[in-house]
Structure 1
Amino acid sequence: MRDLAVPLKLALTLWMAAAAAIHLYFGGFGFPEPITMRGFHLLVFVPPLFLLYPARRASPRHRPSLFDWLWAAAAAAPHAWVMANWDVVSDRMEYVDPFTPGMVVLSILAIATLLEATRRAVEVGLAWMVIASLAYMQWGHLLPGVLNSRAFTPEEILEASWLVPTAGGVYGPLTGIVATTIAVFIIFGAFMQGSGTGRLFGNLGAAIAGRYTGGPAKVAVITSGLFGSMSGSSVSNVITTGAITIPLMKRIGYRPAVAGGIETAASVGGALMPPVMGAAAFVMAEITNIAYAEILVAAAIGAVLYYFAILVAVHVEAKKEGMAPMPAADIPPWREVAQDAHLVIPIAVLVWLMADRWSGNFAAFCATLAMVGIAVLRRRTRMGWREVLESLAQAGRTMAPLAVSIAGAGIVVSALTATGMVVALGGIIKDIAAGSFPLLLVLLAVAVLVLGMGLPTTPSYIIAAAIGVPQILDLGSQALGLPPQALLLPAHLFIFYFAVLADASPPVAAAAFAAAAIGKASPLVTSLHATRLGIAGFTVGFAFLYDPGIMMRGSPGAILLATAIQVVALTAICAAYAGFLLRPMGLVARLLLAAAGLFAAFYHGVPDLLRLAVGAAVLLLLAGLPLLAARRAGRPRTVTGGKTPGPP
């Protein structure tokens, strides 16, 4: 991002703040016509990206060039036209009414500027995926076999990508959910940061875990989980909290790559943690037509297990290396934590309103106003007009890249749907699986991880869900004996978890690369550590489909059993990798413990009680034998006559 001169920087700050404020107002008092709102959303957020982000490394760093201004003007034109002609767009019959030459020009401008903005501000990989989707629509009819599609005219391609708001494309439902609910939650997250809630989370994590073994790493886990739930971006989470926690972890003895891996795993997991869960959860609610509150309930245990596994891994690693807690001087007293405790009230307001089934945007609107009002109670959290302005501007700067990435994902989804590629790719994976539901899930997990290499979590989830969910519903209903509707939410959560983990998985892991830069470590090694620390994402992802208790479905006994299996399995796997369970373990014990953990987590061909029993028995055996041996070794030896030898 450019470091702009003061006049333009101030102007863009005011622009972004005003755009966010209007979104917030709409969230509380109602949105205009969908096409008008989507056009406005892209109009206010796409053009500034050309002024904020340089085109090349050699571009001016403190001012936009003439070409940047031209790009910004070109980006504004199609969205301004849509806003001015919303009734024409809403009333026209798609693929029936003429797609005029003027519409052709505007659609080309819209797609070209979105691609360039995505390249500059998001990921070049997403821009190339959009280009590949458009190319497939143009030439897919020349390909053989299952890849063959019908022929499209250039006008049909442009119309499908730009002006079919009911099905997809630039103004499709995905842009709609970002312009409404997600935008207001991003504003709420910005106000949480501006009021000092981030400080509250950091101090709370340090006060809870700082005085224990491996304290800085545990602080990183707790803080990143709390902060990540509101930030919506794993990379920004790493940069914000990792700048403090990674150096602390290195100082007490963690290797740089391990410290970076801990921060990465904890940061990407923020998207799994209720009550916000980042942008993708709102998209999930839109796609599935399942209430957001129901998604939060279903995801709650899995999110806790994810962080439980990281804490276990951190603890055994610290015990093995004999690491010290945080220095006492760095641990805030509880009275300092209590000085910010009132900031949890707006979060409680958010959760209460959503649990009471108010719309997400209205709940976030009320919580944002509550944040400003509650922050006034103490001087250290009070938000003046400067803090309010900066929070709004920060929300706008966060929304702008998300706006173009979601619009680009909408083009991809539109192309996949129009060409039938969704069915073709799903058919290829299904054919390879050959009727095996477990193999299908493994293939889909790998496909989502690969797809997420160059994409942010939300578009990665959107595209992968379009391909994978129908296959899970089809084959899963046969394998598990459940109706497709019962598998809808588990299938989407399965895809969502692996889309989140892609940010931490090698070879391309944006969050791990950011952590590696802070820790001065190898990005590849850092991502490998992040992947093994995030092992719960893999086990819980599969459990959503095989163990419904993990989603709080079924009796209390079923819920406890599913949770206990995961606790035992994750403890065993983490301890086996570290080679430490109360004390160091040899290779044979580690292999046995790992096998028991993997059996409990993934082998669904036996009764659940047997999985739990095997995992728990091996875990207790390997934990108890060394204690028993140590106790025997510490007993005084007996001699003839039953007397014990005295001191020499």
Structure 2
Amino acid sequence: MSHTPDTRPGHDDEAVGSVTESVAEGVDEEVVESNRRLYKGWQLILFAVLAIVYSTFHLVSLNVFPMETWSFRIVHIAGALILGYGLYAGTRFADDSRGTASPWLTWVSYALLLPALYALMQVFLMQRDIADGAMRIAPHVEAWHYGYPLILASSAAILLSWGYRQVRQKLSPPDLVLMVCSLAVAGYLVVIYNTPLRASTGTSFAPMGISYAAIAGSLLILELTRRVAGLALVVISAIFLLYVFVGPYLPGFLGYPGLSVGRFFSQVYTDAGILGPTTAVSSTYIILFIIFAAFLQASKVGDYFVNFAFAAAGRARGGPAKVAIFASGLMGMINGTSAGNVVSTGSLTIPLMKKVGYPGRSAGAIEAAASTGGQIMPPIMGAGAFIMAEITGIPYTEIAVAAVIPAILYFVSIYFMVDLEAARKGMRGMRKEEIPLFSKLAKQVYLFAPIIILIVALFMGYSVIRAGTLATASAAVVSWISPNKMGIRAILRALQLAGTMSIQIIAVCACAGLIVGVISLTGVGARFSSLLLGLAGFSQLLALFFAMCISILLGMGMPTTAAYAVAASVVAPGLINIGIQPLVAHFFVFYFAVVSAITPPVALASYAAAGISGDNAMGTSVASFKVGLAAFIVPFMFFYSPAMLLEGSWLQILRVGVTATLGIVLLAAAVQAWFFGPVKAWMRVVMLIGALCMIYGGIYTDIAGLVIGAALFLLQRGRHGGGAQPAASSG
């Protein structure tokens, strides 16, 4: 999926110098992807209404009229599929009406509407039969009148959509077929799962119609995921699905007894798979916080966050880079995707970083690393905290509190990487006339109120749903005393925006649920756990390193939520089996799933930043790996020093927090070859040893690290005084 960040207003480099009241404009504007349709007229109104109804349905179901759990999740996925196929095309758009698909493709596409509509009609007839007292539907009716027409229409329409080029303002016929198929899948499952037949899933007594619906539903989820999140997750899902049927023939620990097509698919569209933990989280917490983020965007809070960051940090050396750290942390905390965060804030901060002397590669790397860090920033942590709470059963507030010290360490690390690079290259900050007046922005500090209300409500014991709803309502109320008041139209616009924004994350969570289903139904996760247990017999560090590599590999090219959900199913149980506490194990996996966004060779956040900076994508991903290096060390601290996650006495926590922070500063100095002045090669080696000693967290290693750090500090201060002039200035 490609973004077009340059189309938004307010990002003109030349105009920045004359702006004194506001640097950031358009941060809150919706980013329109290259394969997203831009409707006009009645179609625009229709899809706007559908998105508003979809968002409102969740608010009402979560707070006022709760639905039966499985039915709610099925409708949640179906709504995203219908909106997704309506808004996202399966191939590039035609430049004009002459480049559109040939008439025979159109006729074939419309012909596929017949089996799709026939399958949908059968759902209503089945529902009527069951209401009249039928115990189950005749197998030949499920096969010939529902299953085969549905699978034919779904698979053929997906194939046609890959080659059906349409102008950007029109819905293509294959996608209309896919929208009808999505309705037919959801309708059948809701009807059957509200009867005693629901208990038969996974047995030989399960109606085959469930398997037909699950096959079609899986195809629809995979295709929508390809459109909104790229091929990486789809390829991984396809490999896992292939394993279900190839696994019995594989040697060693990968082999398993095998599952038939009917038995597997009758279970995969239940809470053992697609309707499991990932969809449970996306249908409650994630959708709610997307609505919250949409309300913040509608009231222009994103612009305020970025301007506040400029006012607070813009004049420091390398100012725009420090602004990127601050602003990306704030924005990434609420928007839930590393690459999306890069696009929203990076289109402003990257050009400004280049203006004060950062090379394009460094500017992109800093933005990518900072945006990725937003995913580990409590209290929201993208969506990872909610999935972790769902999987582990650990209270959400406990997870959010445990994340505080690691998040501080990560952002301290990036800050000093940036600061020391700026010192080494002699970069300036922004001039006074280039940044907003802090005094004026301070008068609007009440715009932080919705986030403060959210945090306070969570720690007062309110449920996450109630706290999120309260924060969303407060965003609208706070806007009434701000320059961007939200009336009825703005509230409807926010609900529409939320419906549209949610499509990607819901598709990704459903697709991750497919993988989780394969893992749970085939038992491959348990066999992986035994492999880790065997490795731990030689060395726990080796087992942790292996777990790190698998978590990063599973996360490559995938959005954070899906990356963590899959890694938590495969890797975390193995870590728990070798004696690691569940909270530590899940944080370990979560961190590496997050930093896969800046890990070469497939680094989504780095690639998005490279697209804005104009630099080489692979070079930017290597540079962002270097800037975010602390994130690859901190998770090992969770194991060797659980006090990092607030597990232990306050004295232990304080000692570990302080020494680890000092170690992170030394690590940044070693990487950037600058402390109070240039650092020689032997000193960098000593610095690295001192940094690792303090990061390790043991009492004796802390003392050794502090001695090394103090000696280097005195040596550098004596040699360079209060600071050295850089050898060459690039500012």
Same fold (TM over 0.5): yes
Contact 2:375 2:381 in 1 (8 A): yes
Q: Does 1:295 align with 2:399?
A: yes
* Counterpart position of 1:643: none
- Over residues 533-570 of structure 1, what are the superposed CA-to-partner deviations in whole Å (9 max), with x where a residue is unaligned? 11221222112222122122322210111112211211
1:308 alignment partner in structure 2: 412
1:46: which partner in 2? Answer: 81
Amino acid at match of 2:689: A
Distance 2:399 2:610 in 1: 33
Greater displacement, 127-136 / 352-361: 127-136
Q: How far 1:90 moved relative to its partner?
A: 7.6
2:465 match: 361
What one-letter code is carried by the residue in structure 2 that aligns with 1:83?
V
Give me the whole-angstrom Cα distance separating, in 1, the residues matched to 2:419 and 2:368.
Answer: 17
Distance 1:335 1:80, change over 3 A: farther
Q: 2:254–2:524: 8 Å Cα contact kept in structure 1?
A: yes
8 Å Cα contact 1:28-1:366 kept in structure 2: no
Give, in angstroms, the shift of residue 97 of structure 1: 6.6
Partner residue in 2 for 1:462: 565
> 1:525 maps to which residue?
619
Q: Is the 8 A contact 1:182 1:361 kept in 2?
A: no
Q: Does the 8 Å CA contact 2:378/2:403 hold for their aligned counterparts? A: yes
1:235 partnered with 2:339: yes
Q: Which amino acid aligns with 1:476?
A: G
Q: Which runs of 5+ in 2 are unaligned?
A: 1-34, 94-164, 725-731
Pick from 22, 40, 44 the counterpart of residue 6 of structure 1.
Answer: 40
Indicate which of 688, 705, 726 corresponds to 1:594: 688
CA distance in 1, matches of 2:495, 2:88: 19
Q: Which residue of 2 aligns with 1:29?
A: 64
Post-superposition CA distance 1:575-606 (Å, at most 9, x none): 1111110111111111221222123324x6xx
* Pick aligned residue for 1:501 from 595, 613, 629: 595
Indicate which of 149, 157, 176 corresponds to 2:264: 157
- Post-superposition shift, 1:295? 0.5
Cα distance between partner residues in 1 of 2:213 and 2:577: 40
Structure 2 Cα separation of the partners of residues 630 and 229 of structure 1: 39
Deviation at 1:57, TM superposition (A): 2.6
* Other structure's SS at 2:571 match: helix
Q: Name 2:230's counterpart in structure 1.
A: 123
- What secondary structure sits across from 2:579 in the alignment? helix
Partners of 1:69 and 1:179 lie apart in 2 by 24
What residue number does 1:613 align with?
Answer: 703
Q: How is 1:300-379 mapped onto 2 (pairs within 5 angstroms)?
A: 300-378=404-482
Whether contact under 8 Å (1:191, 1:368) holds in the other structure is yes
Q: Deviations over 1:233-259 (max 9, x none)?
A: 111110010000000000111011110
Alignment partner, residue 644 of structure 1 = none
CA distance in 2, matches of 1:343, 1:534: 30
Distance 1:562 1:65 in 2: 58
- Paired with 1:204 and 1:185, the residues of 2 have a C-alpha distance of 22
Residue 327 of structure 1, CA deviation: 2.5
Residue 94 of structure 1 pairs with residue 201 of structure 2: yes
Decide which moves more: 83-92 or 500-509.
83-92
Partners of 2:335 and 2:669 lie apart in 1 by 31
Aligned to 1:251: 355
Report the secondary structure of 1:275's partner residue. coil
The reply on whether 1:445 has 2:445 as its aligned counterpart is no
Correspondence 1:540-619 to 2 at 5 A: 540-602=634-696, 608-619=698-709
**Corresponding position of 2:577:** 474
| SS at structure 1 position matched to 2:194 | helix
Letter in 2 for 1:151: G
Task: Tell me which residue corresponds to 2:630.
Answer: 536
Aligned match of 1:481: none
Give, in whole Å, the separation in 2 of the partners of 1:3 and 1:272. 32
Structure 1 position 200, deviation (Å): 2.1
Query: Structure 1: 5+ residue runs without aligned partners?
Result: 478-486, 635-648
Verify: 1:225 aligned to 2:334, yes or no: no
Contact 1:494 1:542 in 2 (8 A): yes
Rounded Cα–Cα distance in structure 1 between residues aligned with 2:233 and 2:201: 27
Alignment of 1:391-410 (within 5 A): 391-410=494-513
SS at match of 2:538: coil
- Given that 1:161 and 1:415 are in contact with CA atoms closer than 8 Å, whether structure 2 keeps it comes out as yes
| Counterpart-to-counterpart distance in 2, 1:236 and 1:331 | 25
Higher mean alpha-carbon deviation, 9-18 vs 266-275, is at 9-18
State the TM-score, normalizing by the size of structure 2.
0.81
Q: Is the 8 A contact 2:189 2:210 kept in 1?
A: no
Residue identity matched to 2:166: P
**AA in 1 matched with 2:88:** Y
Higher mean C-alpha displacement, 111-120 vs 615-624: 615-624
> In the alignment, is the contact (CA less than 8 A) between 2:189 and 2:213 conserved in 1?
no
Instruction: Please report how far the alpha carbon of residue 23 of structure 1 lies from its aligned counterpart in structure 2 after TM superposition.
Output: 1.0
Shift of 1:28: 2.5
Which stretch has the larger CA shift, 253-262 or 416-425?
416-425
| Structure 2 residue identity aligned to 1:513 | Y
Distance 1:296 1:372 in 2: 25
Aligned pairs (5 A) from 1:186-197: 186-197=290-301
Per-residue CA shift, 1:440-484, capped at 9, x if unaligned? 11111111111111221112111111222222222235xxxxxxx
Between 249-258 and 181-190, report the one with greater CA deviation.
Answer: 181-190
Instruction: Tell me the distance in 1 between the aligned counterparts of 2:392 and 2:69.
Output: 19
How far apart are 1:494 and its partner, in Å?
0.8
CA contact (8 A) 1:299 1:551 kept: yes
Partner residue of 1:69? 176
Shift of 1:621: 2.0
Correspondence 1:385 to 2:467: no
Counterpart for residue 627 of structure 1: 717
1:631 Cα deviation (Å)? Answer: 6.2
Q: Residues 30 and 569 of structure 1: is their aligned pair in 2 closer, same or farther, counting only changes over 3 Å?
A: farther
Equivalent residue letter for 2:226: R
- TM-aligned CA deviation for residue 493 of structure 1: 0.7
Give the Cα–Cα distance (whole angstroms) in 2 for the partners of residues 537 and 27 of structure 1: 35
| Alpha-carbon contact 1:160-1:415 (below 8 Å) kept | no
**CA shift digits 1:77-135 (9 cap, x unpaired):** 11122334441278433323733343333222111111111111123121122222222
TM-score using structure 1 length: 0.92
Do the aligned partners of 1:575 and 1:581 also contact (CA within 8 Å) in 2?
yes
Are 2:276 and 1:172 aligned?
yes
The CA RMSD measured in Å over matched residues stands at 1.9
Contact 1:185 1:361 survives alignment (8 Å): no
CA distance in 2, matches of 1:631, 1:442: 41
The amino acid that maps onto 2:636 is F
Give the match for residue 514 of structure 1: 608
Deviates more, 1:98-107 or 1:322-331: 98-107
Distance 2:659 2:44 in 1: 54
What residue identity is the alignment partner of 2:223? Answer: E
Residue in structure 2 matched with residue 146 of structure 1 by the alignment: 253
Residue type matched to 1:326 in 2? M
1:637 alignment partner in structure 2: none
Extract structure 1 runs of 4+ deviating beyond 4 A: none
CA displacement at 1:433 relative to structure 2? 4.5
Q: Residue 162 of structure 2 corresponds to which residue in structure 1?
A: none
Q: Distance in 2 between matches of 1:444 and 1:622?
A: 35
Q: Select between 200-209 and 467-476 the one with higher mean Cα deviation.
A: 467-476
Contact 1:452 1:499 in 2 (8 A): yes
2:585 maps to 491
